[in-house]
Amino acid sequence: MRLQKPDFLIFLLILISTQMLYAQAYFTVDNLPKIPDKDGFAGSLSGVSNGALMVAGGSNFPDAGRPWTGDTKQWYDDVFVLENPKGAWRKVGKLPAPLGYTVSVTWKDGVVCVGGSHSTGHLATGFIMRWQNKIVTFEPLPNLPITLANSCGALVGDVLYVAGGLENPASTTTLKKFYALNLAAKERKWEELPPWQGEGRMLSVAGSYNGKFYLISGTSIHQNDSTGATDRGYLKDAYCYSPKTRQWKPLTDLPQPTVAAPGPVFIAHKKMIVLGGDTGENASKNLILKDKHPGFSTKIWGFDFKSNDWQMMDDFPVDIRSDAESFPNQSTYLPVTTPLVAWKGGFVIPGGEARPGTRTPRVLWIKTKP
């Protein structure tokens, strides 16, 4: 049947909307094929190997379960590969064990993954995951000095820096630990370095620019002496570490916390870009809001290296539909607890936590405008 002109225009608009969400002042955001899981994952391991985008592991509450209904979080070991943006995800192998919430970064032809957690606790192990000759391979790395999960990390050259985290699920305080691993060294060995001036933290965001490492936001944990419970502190401070001087320098505080924002962050328009994160605004209401939770922050913050201040650059283009309470995967959120991966001229957010207890299989592809 031949489409009339008005019908054709409507069809074209629908087709475009399924690919591009919005073009903002500084960025465009597209949809890549969804990860082939009906619930999606948070805390996945992700990076690029030999040109292919890899996503592995992570956790969810299966079959739309929720923590407040007594459902149990499950960790996964599946490895998925997307070789081109117009292709389809393929399940190509398994991790050595179910795993999530590692530090994961792309280095040369592999995805470096260290630390993390599974159903029985936190880990000190690490490996480089590669997609080679249509198979998944794993190269072991030295164990971290301690077990940790929910850390952040970034590469400065060939050196992986890892900051903060939680030593085990029962920990009542967050770590103020800072480690480095030279991936190019003949004999790889973790080195403990001086920590930053502020509190211990987890779920921070890391970045790298001009030979320096950046530590941004995060949440601290303290035990409440009167109740015995642990309380979270949502942090706005940020720091820069110079490998040359082995010293930290505080940056201007963020306007709001950006806890668990996708990372490592990227550089665009001469700024360090932080996408959303959890501000803590609704943290005390999670068990009241449940599936009515509106999602996390949509603010896109840029740190100006020259002026040492933060600027609000855009609002991320979310699309929270009227049926989001029951069908969250039909909506588009800016997720947290997920990596941010440079790939094919853009930056990919592969799944993540759309709102507390809810994962998303959506894969977002961000490109910077000139």
pLDDT per residue over 87-114, tens digit each?
Answer: 999 999 999 999 999 999 999 999 999 9
How far apart are alpha carbons 222 and 208 in whole angstroms? 29
CA distances to 9, 101, 164, 180, 208 from 159, rounded to whole Å, are: 51, 20, 17, 6, 11
Sequential DSSP letters for 160-219: EEEE--BSSTT-SS----EEEEETTSSS--EEE-PPPSS---BS-EEEEETTEEEEE--E
Q: Check residue 226 and give its pLDDT.
A: 79
| Entry pTM | 0.93
Q: Which residue has the tokens 């996708």?
A: 262
Q: What is the pLDDT of residues 18-66, one digit of tens each?
A: 445 555 789 999 999 999 999 999 999 999 999 999 999 999 999 999 9
Residue (of 168, 142, 165, 141) closest to 153 by Cα position: 165
pLDDT lower than 50: segments of the chain = 1-19
What are 215's strand-pairing partners?
Answer: 206, 239
In the chain, how many H helices and how many E strands? 2, 31
Residue 63: per-residue pLDDT:
93
Q: What is the pLDDT of residue 20?
A: 52
Residue 272: predicted pLDDT: 98
**Predicted pLDDT of residue 223:** 85
Q: What percent of the chain has pLDDT over 90?
A: 89
Buried residues in 318-356 as b, exposed as e (16+ CB within 10 A)? bebeeebeeebbebbbbbbbbbbbebeebbbbbbbbbbb
Q: Two tokens at 65?
A: 């379960």
Q: How far apart are CA 242 and CA 249, in angstroms?
A: 8
At residue 22, the pLDDT reads 54
Closest-CA residue to 74 (of 118, 17, 115, 44) = 118
Answer whether CATH 2.40.110.10 is correct for domain 31-368.
no
3-class DSSP state of 109: coil
Which DSSP helix (H) or strand (E) runs through 15? Answer: helix 5-19
